[in-house]
Structure 1
Amino acid sequence: MLVLSLSTVAFLGLAQLADASGSPSTGHRRRTAGGGQAMNLVRSAPNSNEWSTQQWGHWAKTQKSSLEAKYGGAGASGTGVQKRATGTNYMTNQNGDSSYFGSLAIGTPPVSYNVILDTGSADLWLAGSDCTTGCSGVATFDPSSSSTFRNESSPFSITYGSGQAAGFLSQDVVQMAGFEVQNQIFAVCEQVSGGLLTAPVSGLLGLAFQTIASSRAPPFWETLVTEGAWDEPVMAFQLTRYLNVSGVQTLEPGGSFSMGFANSSLYTGDIDYVNLPVTGSYWVLPITSISVQNQSISPPSGQQAYAAIDTGTTLVGGPSSYIAQIFQQIPGSAPGTGDFESYYTYPCDTDVTVALSFGGRTWSISPADFRLARLTQRECLGAFFEIDSGGSSAPSWIVGDTFLKNVYSVFRYSPASVGFANLSAVALAQNGDASGAVPSATIGSSAARVSATGSMLPKAHRSAGIKIGCGLLYATSASLLITIAVAGVHSVLL
């Protein structure tokens, strides 16, 4: 996530173990069409049909402040690759598209943890076993249980719009989807603001670039790419939709996160790549056109067009003038008040289709994703809302899962770009599938090992209190409490 990474609202449920290779599966390792191993994503969703207007208002207000906090701040070499490979992490969808998490394993012997997969930040962060606040009921990392653990003796602190996490930097073996980095830098946090973490998620895996990492260390994914562990320098997402589905469970199958390849069984046609206008920080693309109900509005220009493509954010946020123009095309829409300030409501009997272009093809957002919640019998809440970048270098737009559920998204390291493609029938069939099984983890050997040295700035140049926008916005379905889960540079994404 960006400094203020859109608060991805993650309503977390049961804990899911990940294998030593970070590859959850239903008792065995899945093979993908690309010949690689696959890692499931589990999606968490809120019981939105049971929420009151007041509860949705609390959620909406927290999401906005968290997003602005996430993006409001500023934000290795090695040898030993055995072979190039591909892998997939099957994800979990939590609380009706609120957040998506996968699994990885840390230490020797490997222990699995659930983490939010966040393209809006660049740090790996876990709650530690000595965590004294904010970690109740969350699986924590115990340094003494790993024979390969190394304490870097460097303080680590992350500040979010809704709280803070603090601890220390360390090194250990990290495995995911068949890949391994033997001395990955990550943070072990001992103090977490209340509500930042909700089981079964223990932390966050940042998938943006090293330059915005609060640790200043190479992210796990970037080490794998630069050391040649992947067949191709790409990672890709397919996210499922359970929003407003009747009978949705707290945890549902979330789709997949592919490493080193794009899974051709999950998309059709070509992948439409657009190069990043600015490289080495967030995955930013320029918004070049916006239409609502097939009516075009004036597109933003310059830096106001820059949009962070953020898997760790639930909704879509943008400058107030453009969000207002979007809702002006919807008869009966109105600005929200109170907790819904910066949001808009609109008549529930209206199916709204918004389409975006980033310099290539145009991509439509399903009316099912635009409709975030039904507040009353006639009044619905839109999934686009106003954010204020505060004149900082953060992108003016944060494009989260509301959009990304509608496309197959590919993040390419070189040339630095983001690509989108149409979802295949196989991928679409997973949306709202009541028969789908939530992935579970297995422990397995890694397909490719990378011995990397996590290069960081000299200690004198590190900040013990870096303000970053990395975090996940979560709401537990049991307490309906909106919280923020932090990890890496991601302030309130979930």
Structure 2
Amino acid sequence: MAAAVAGLEARSSRDVKGKQRAPRQQLEGDGGSDGVVVPLQLLQDSEYESVYTIPILVGSDPQQNLSLQVDTGSSDLWLASTSCGSSACQETGGDLYDPASATTSQQTFTIAYEEGAVSGPIVWDAVEVGGYTIAQQALAAASQVSDEPLDPSFVGVLGLALPPNSIIAERVPSTPGSTRTGAVFAANLLGLAGASAPAAPFLSLALERPGSSAVPSVLGVGRHPDGLVPDPSQIQYAPLTPDSAGTLFWKTTVRAITVYVNGQAHPVQLPRSVGGGTSPTAVLDSGVPVILATSQIANGIYGALGIGPASDGSYYVPCTTPLNMTITLDDRSELPLHPLDLTYPASSGSSCTGLIQAMPAASNSEASVTDIILGVPFLRNTYTVMAYAPPDASGSFANSHVTTSTAGSSPRLGLLSLTNATLALEQFQQVRVNDQPLSSSPTSDSSKASPGRRLSVGLDVLIGLLGLLVLCFVLFGARWAYARHRRKHAPHGAYGPAFEGAPKAQDVAYRLARRVSDTEADAATLVGGRGSRGARSDTGFDPTEDALRASRFEAYKRRVAGQRASDASDELGFGVRARKMEADDDETPPSAYAPLPLGSPPMESAFPARPPGVEGVGMPLLGQPRSEDVADLGMRGLAFDEFGMMEDGSRTSMAGVGTPRRGGRVRPDSSGSTSTAGSRARRPSSMRMLSQSTLGSRGSTLIDSMVLEEDVPPPPPPPLPPHAPLGEAGS
């Protein structure tokens, strides 16, 4: 059986020469019962031809530093010796094993592969791996090696399959009490006596992907690599599938294979096992650089993509088409495979060679030991644990020490997915479509958690948004706390009225709104007779709007009364109350008003006094007469209702002050028509007291030019004095 599987792997690993060495890492762990993680080295000509090697020390005086290929598909250790003269041994450049210090067993080791063979004497010699030393390890010093791809980078094979599969153990039976047995390397290593043995009886394997350092190449001896396995309970274990001759390989049952095309799942119809079971089986083999399957399974996988075998029997896939598939083993979770691991570019052209190929036709019945050989492409996607005893529920191996004779009696295969299916497709797009190299960052290459246990993209986005919202709340709270702290520790009065030198908000608003009066006398009057424009009321607060309007109206009455008294002796007093003066065709008259007639009623009789208790103060801007409308008349501040008062002392509304007002007031115009609500408004005229009938035709023209459209009706004119009619004055 071993020869059959060895033949398959030998066929798939031919001509691995001129390989590049990956950098070697440092050991992890202290050895002994603590275990150790030994770094492996990837040697490759291409992504298709890959060999993972481990350094060993062999012999005693002196020790030789050699490298061996790690092979989970066979159980024996053999090295090309100095007695080998074949062409394969010459490829090593003379770096061969010297068995001069070894003890011979008088037995010969022979293994025939599908292509090639290895043979030589069985000897016992000291072998050291990762600090663990086996003083009497049975191995084959190969004197004949044919068609094996040896080179200076490695000179033999370290088999890690189960003890019953060993040819050396069959040729050299164990003798009770003897220190020299034919036990395999793994059994001797895990069965070391006392504290020299690892406390956990297992070997583990992780293989790196070319172009990425996200997953290191390591061999664990009784210890999990910390970077890959933070939680050992996440590793899923299952018993092995035995053969008729016993448990020989790390063999498991295939429950499902699914190919995903454009997001749609295409399950592959699985046949019965070649061994007669209801489900096909698979052997994990790190010595095979491809995945080998029966023709029926291979056709089902590529058939999901509409691809069949070529004339040479191989499968080829367009390089930009991902082979996105998963495989389910036993009762474990679905294991995704990276599409970059399932095809590799040819030297030219747009087609890539599929790394899942059909098995060759078996030349004997022993070749049909399994349905699928899961080689390197599969093992790059999983962390594989080869346990020689069952673990507990937490994944630990407390009280599970084994001996050389009992090792392998109750093996378990543990698997932990290392591939995120979504990220794998993105990386395939990056490499095969965009022609960009893989990132070497561990965080950007793969996930250590199974995709079935990872959060979905939508949930990741939701968590990110919630985190941003929490951050905004924190920043807002910090700003609020800072502002509160400033108010608390600011100088007295900085945020309140206690600061005596700071002006009040009312003062600032008053100064901004105040409009300078025509004269200093008016200004003094507007502030309540205090002689200062900036004076405030005795209460310490600024006057209200009603008080401001009343005070302004009172100042206006006094100014008009003073004009009447000063012009009483004017010789042009014809009983006309007011008229605009002319002076040499000048638009601006020297005086805004004509003299008032003698004997007119005092202004106090026409206008009421200001409301009691209201002091005269400065007029805010909103209460000022809009003199710009009558600036061309040389008149200022004559609109009564601008102060919110009528001639009879009643108050009017201040609504619309400062904006074009659209009122519902009715006013007579020169033609006798009325203006209703909604008419176009203009600012009020200050000539409400002029009488058209008393000015004649010239006065009519003058008044027509001065009376502006307004929704607010003019106040009624005061009665004419009975002793000065217009006709008598003219005579």
Q: What TM-score do you get using the length of structure 1 for normalisation?
A: 0.67
**Aligned match of 1:224:** 189
**Aligned match of 1:361:** 333
Q: Does 1:277 align with 2:241?
A: yes
AA of the residue aligned to 1:156: F
Q: Among 231, 247, 255, which residue is 2:217 paired with?
A: 255
**Aligned match of 2:178:** none
Task: Give the 3-state SS of the residue equivalent to 1:30 in structure 2.
Answer: coil
**Aligned match of 2:345:** 373
Point out which structure has higher relative CO (alpha carbons under 8 A, 6+ apart): 1
**Aligned match of 2:297:** 322
Q: Does 1:397 align with 2:350?
A: no
**Aligned match of 2:310:** 336
Task: Give the 3-state SS of the residue equivalent to 2:219 in structure 1.
Answer: strand
Q: Deviations over 1:39-67 (max 9, x none)?
A: xxxxxxxxxxxxxxxxxxxxxxxxxxxxx
**Aligned match of 2:207:** 239
- In 2, distance between residues paired with 1:260 and 1:3? 30
Task: Give the 3-state SS of the residue equivalent to 2:89 in structure 1.
Answer: coil
**Which structure: greater strand fraction?**
1
5+ residue gaps in structure 1?
Answer: 18-23, 38-82, 437-494
Task: Give the 3-state SS of the residue equivalent to 1:116 in structure 2.
Answer: strand
Q: Among 69, 75, 87, which residue is 2:36 paired with?
A: 87
AA of the residue aligned to 1:356: I
**Aligned match of 1:470:** none
**Aligned match of 1:200:** 153
- In 1, distance between residues paired with 2:255 and 2:294? 15
Cα pair 1:265 1:424 within 8 Å, conserved:
no
5+ residue gaps in structure 2?
Answer: 170-181, 391-410, 428-436, 443-731
**Aligned match of 1:9:** 13
**Aligned match of 1:79:** none
- In 1, distance between residues paired with 2:352 and 2:304? 15
Cα pair 1:2 1:120 within 8 Å, conserved:
no
**Aligned match of 1:264:** 226
Cα pair 2:37 2:224 within 8 Å, conserved:
no
- In 1, distance between residues paired with 2:365 and 2:138? 32
Cα pair 2:17 2:149 within 8 Å, conserved:
no
**Aligned match of 1:347:** 318
**Aligned match of 2:524:** none
Q: Does 1:30 align with 2:30?
A: no
AA of the residue aligned to 1:136: Q
Task: Give the 3-state SS of the residue equivalent to 2:167 in structure 1.
Answer: coil
Task: Give the 3-state SS of the residue equivalent to 1:141 in structure 2.
Answer: coil
Identical residues among aligned pairs (%): 23
Task: Give the 3-state SS of the residue equivalent to 1:403 in structure 2.
Answer: helix
- In 2, distance between residues paired with 1:231 and 1:2? 33
AA of the residue aligned to 2:311: T
Distance 1:264 1:299, change over 3 A: farther
Cα pair 2:384 2:415 within 8 Å, conserved:
yes
**Aligned match of 1:481:** none
- In 2, distance between residues paired with 1:213 and 1:15? 31
- Kindly state the Cα deviation for residue 2 of structure 1 after the two structures are TM-superposed: 6.8
Task: Give the 3-state SS of the residue equivalent to 2:33 in structure 1.
Answer: coil
- Kindly state the Cα deviation for residue 391 of structure 1 after the two structures are TM-superposed: 4.2
After superposition, the CA RMSD in angstroms is 3.1
AA of the residue aligned to 1:325: G
Distance 1:114 1:15, change over 3 A: farther
- In 1, distance between residues paired with 2:147 and 2:375? 24
- Structure with bigger gyration radius: 2
- Kindly state the Cα deviation for residue 407 of structure 1 after the two structures are TM-superposed: 1.3
Cα pair 1:276 1:418 within 8 Å, conserved:
yes
Distance 1:13 1:364, change over 3 A: same
- Kindly state the Cα deviation for residue 226 of structure 1 after the two structures are TM-superposed: 3.1
AA of the residue aligned to 2:294: P
Cα pair 1:291 1:355 within 8 Å, conserved:
yes
AA of the residue aligned to 1:179: Y
Cα pair 1:356 1:363 within 8 Å, conserved:
yes
Q: Among 90, 97, 109, which residue is 1:136 paired with?
A: 90
Write out aligned runs for 1:483-494 (5 A): none
AA of the residue aligned to 1:380: C
**Which structure: greater helix fraction?**
2
Distance 1:168 1:15, change over 3 A: farther
Task: Give the 3-state SS of the residue equivalent to 1:3 in structure 2.
Answer: helix
- In 1, distance between residues paired with 2:57 and 2:19? 17
- In 2, distance between residues paired with 1:253 and 1:210? 29
Q: Deviations over 1:162-219 (max 9, x none)?
A: 2122210000111001111110000001121144422311000000122211112221
- Kindly state the Cα deviation for residue 337 of structure 1 after the two structures are TM-superposed: 2.1
